[in-house]
Amino acid sequence: MARRIKIFDTTLRDGEQSPGCSMNLKDKLDVAESLALLGVDIIEAGFAICSPGDFQSVQAISRQVRGVTVASLARATEKDIDAAWDAVRDAENPRIHIFLATSPIHMEYKLKKTPDQVFEIAKTMAAYARNKCGDIEFSLEDASRSDPAFMYRIIEAVINAGASTINIPDTVGYAEPEEFAGIIRGIKENVPNIDRAVISVHCHNDLGLAVANSLAAVRAGADQVECTINGLGERAGNTSLEEVVMNLHTRKDYFDVVTGIDTTKIYQTSKKVSKATGVRCQPNKAVVGENAFAHESGIHQHGVLANRATYEIMTPESIGLPHNKMVLGKHSGRHALEERLSYLGYQVSEDQLNRIFTDFKDLADKKKTVSDRDIEALVSGAHGGIPEYYKLDRFVINSGSSITSTAIVRLKVKDGSLVEKVAIGDGPIDASLNAVDKIIGGSEIKLEDFSLQIVDAVDTGADAQGETYMRITRDGRTWNGNGVSTDVVESGIKAYLSAINAMTYELEGAEKI
């Protein structure tokens, strides 16, 4: 019988630490539910002690998401462990994940402690956590640069103290695959009580080897892989969940292991994380990139048409990539749209469905057909349940190469009234955002990132949709927004308002989870 590999997803913790990838509470709950449906074994929901917002999100996920283990990260201190336990204690299966650096450079310069002091802290804090929670994971930070004999000593001690999972991180992406596999083999051969714990690995991608190192560790006997959707994470990112899982799935003959992942939900989970973070995958990203199943070369096209296996070692359908060419139009009804949303993997509330259907009808009047990509863009514009404190009512643009761009924008504001302002700017979008700032008093808001993508999976031409992503900051905090429209200026205004609504929701706390 094939060995079962646990998938530990840290998108909501390590993934969110990637610059610009912050998510609000509703986004995190939505992503956590998707991860549970995907079939991950453990969700690392956050670092509870890090901030009140992190604690709140870990606690909310612990209380709401079922069918998975929910973990919180904690340093090896009583204060951190107490916060982690308070955040996850209501989970169906709670876990406290403790980490402590064990490499010489980290112990000397970061911890400023001797190896013997680190050993005592590890042993004491593992026991302290075990007295609170029955599921303890212990990480030896920077393990790939640690002395093997010292690691064996700590691992044996923390297992005796109650840790049931031992995580071996390649924290700075330093290891090479065979070298990292050797570390895992060394632990299995030299730690006498290792049979009482699961060996986990957590690899970073600084040298582009996170997936390779994780797979090498699996071959060497690791039973848990820690990863993120789309490979998000600090610096060059983490091990990519979709790449590890599809390697194990596609090359069953080589690895002879299984996971609990429903691979047909990979694509939609990837898209959901991209929209929640405002960070899209590069087109040539393995498995989930836009070009992952695209064939332009004539030789490749001929081969695929003759037999897909000539150039496709996995099928688009195996990751849940929409392949049905049936499209919807202005005569399609609510039920057809609802069925299509279900097929695409979206679970929406009644209110969200109403908004999406209204936007769908508006779009169908402008386009002959509405494609799957169009529908995905409409879902992303449903604001994830965040109230529309500010909503675009209308706008007028006057722009050209020899005149200063002017925008007149009218918004429906929080009290239900309509407010209109005029502004100028460097181009029609800049002028429009300046007009919005005048309405909301947004002088403290800074636009950090702006990107526009043309969304049109079926036709090419004037009726394509523009999907805009924006990131704004205020007082050092960040919010993402997106908007879609057949008019790129309108999509830009909607994206800006989406980010402003997310900011307003979080700052004012008008609704509570």
Using alpha carbons, select from 8, 88, 15, 21 the residue that is nearest to residue 49: 88
> 331 and 455, same structural domain?
no
> 405 and 364, same structural domain?
no
Q: Is residue 448 part of a domain?
A: yes
Contact 465, 491 (CB under 8 A): yes
List, for residues 368-397, the tens digit of each pLDDT value: 677 776 777 677 655 456 788 999 999 999
Q: Is residue 292 over pLDDT 90?
A: no
Q: Is residue 293 part of a domain?
A: no
List, for residues 182-207, the tens digit of each pLDDT value: 999 999 999 999 999 999 999 999 99
User: In angstroms, rounded to a whole number, what is the distance separating the alpha carbons of residues 499 and 176?
Assistant: 41
Q: What is the CATH number of the domain that holds 392?
A: 3.30.160.270
Q: What's the pTM?
A: 0.78
Q: Give the mean model confidence (pLDDT) for residues 424-429.
A: 94
Q: Is residue 199 part of a domain?
A: yes
Assign 509 to helix, strand or coil: coil
Q: For 427, which DSSP code?
A: S
Q: Is residue 408 over pLDDT 50?
A: yes
What pLDDT is stored for residue 61 in this prediction?
98
What pLDDT is stored for residue 384 in this prediction?
55
User: In angstroms, rounded to a whole number, what is the distance separating the alpha carbons of residues 29 and 26?
Assistant: 5
List, for residues 297-349, the tens digit of each pLDDT value: 455 555 655 676 776 788 888 998 765 444 577 777 888 888 778 767 677 88
Q: Is residue 289 part of a domain?
A: no
> 407 and 327, same structural domain?
no
Q: Is residue 151 part of a domain?
A: yes
> 399 and 251, same structural domain?
no
Q: Is residue 310 part of a domain?
A: no
Q: Which residue has the higher pLDDT, 337 or 512?
A: 337
Give the strand pairing for 465-474 and 477-485: antiparallel
What pLDDT is stored for residue 322 in this prediction?
61
DSSP per-residue string spanning 366-377: HSS-B-HHHHHH
Please report, rounded to a whole number, the percentage of residues in the chain having pLDDT higher than 70: 89
Q: Is residue 72 part of a domain?
A: yes
User: In angstroms, rounded to a whole number, what is the distance separating the alpha carbons of residues 226 and 10?
Assistant: 7
How many domains in the chain? 3
> 175 and 28, same structural domain?
yes
Contact 81, 126 (CB under 8 A): no
Q: Which residue has the higher pLDDT, 68 or 356?
A: 68
User: In angstroms, rounded to a whole number, what is the distance separating the alpha carbons of residues 83 and 135?
Assistant: 15
Dihedral sign for Cα atoms in the order 94, 6, 204, 32: negative
> 378 and 247, same structural domain?
no
Question: Where are any strands of DSSP class E within 117-233?
Answer: 136-141, 165-170, 198-203, 224-227
Q: Which residue has the higher pLDDT, 308 or 139?
A: 139
> 194 and 122, same structural domain?
yes
Long-range contact set of residues 435-443: C-beta below 8 Å, sequence gap at least 24: 435/395, 435/407, 435/408, 435/409, 436/390, 436/409, 436/411, 436/493, 436/496, 436/497, 436/500, 439/390, 439/409, 439/411, 439/413, 440/390, 440/411, 440/413, 440/500, 442/500
Range of the domain at 433: 386-508
List, for residues 479-496, the tens digit of each pLDDT value: 888 888 888 899 999 999
Q: Is residue 70 part of a domain?
A: yes
> Given pLDDT bands bounded at 50, 70 and 90, which one contains residue 281?
confident
> 200 and 72, same structural domain?
yes
Which domain-ending residue is among 334, 357, 383? 383
Using alpha carbons, select from 156, 149, 233 the residue that is nearest to residue 183: 149
DSSP per-residue string spanning 321-380: -------B-TT--HHHHHHHHHHTT----HHHHHHHHHHHHHHHHHSS-B-HHHHHHHHH
> 488 and 457, same structural domain?
yes
User: In angstroms, rounded to a whole number, what is the distance separating the alpha carbons of residues 434 and 255?
Assistant: 56
User: In angstroms, rounded to a whole number, what is the distance separating the alpha carbons of residues 275 and 269?
Assistant: 10
> 211 and 130, same structural domain?
yes
> 76 and 11, same structural domain?
yes
What pLDDT is stored for residue 454 in this prediction?
74
Which domain-ending residue is among 222, 250, 277? 277
Most distant CA pair in the chain, distance: 78
SS3 per-residue string spanning 157-190? HHHHHCCCEEEEEECCCCCCHHHHHHHHHHHHHH
Report the chain's mean pLDDT, rounded to a whole number: 88
> 335 and 476, same structural domain?
no
Residues sharing a CB contact under 8 Å with residue 195, sequence separation 6 or more, in sequence order: none
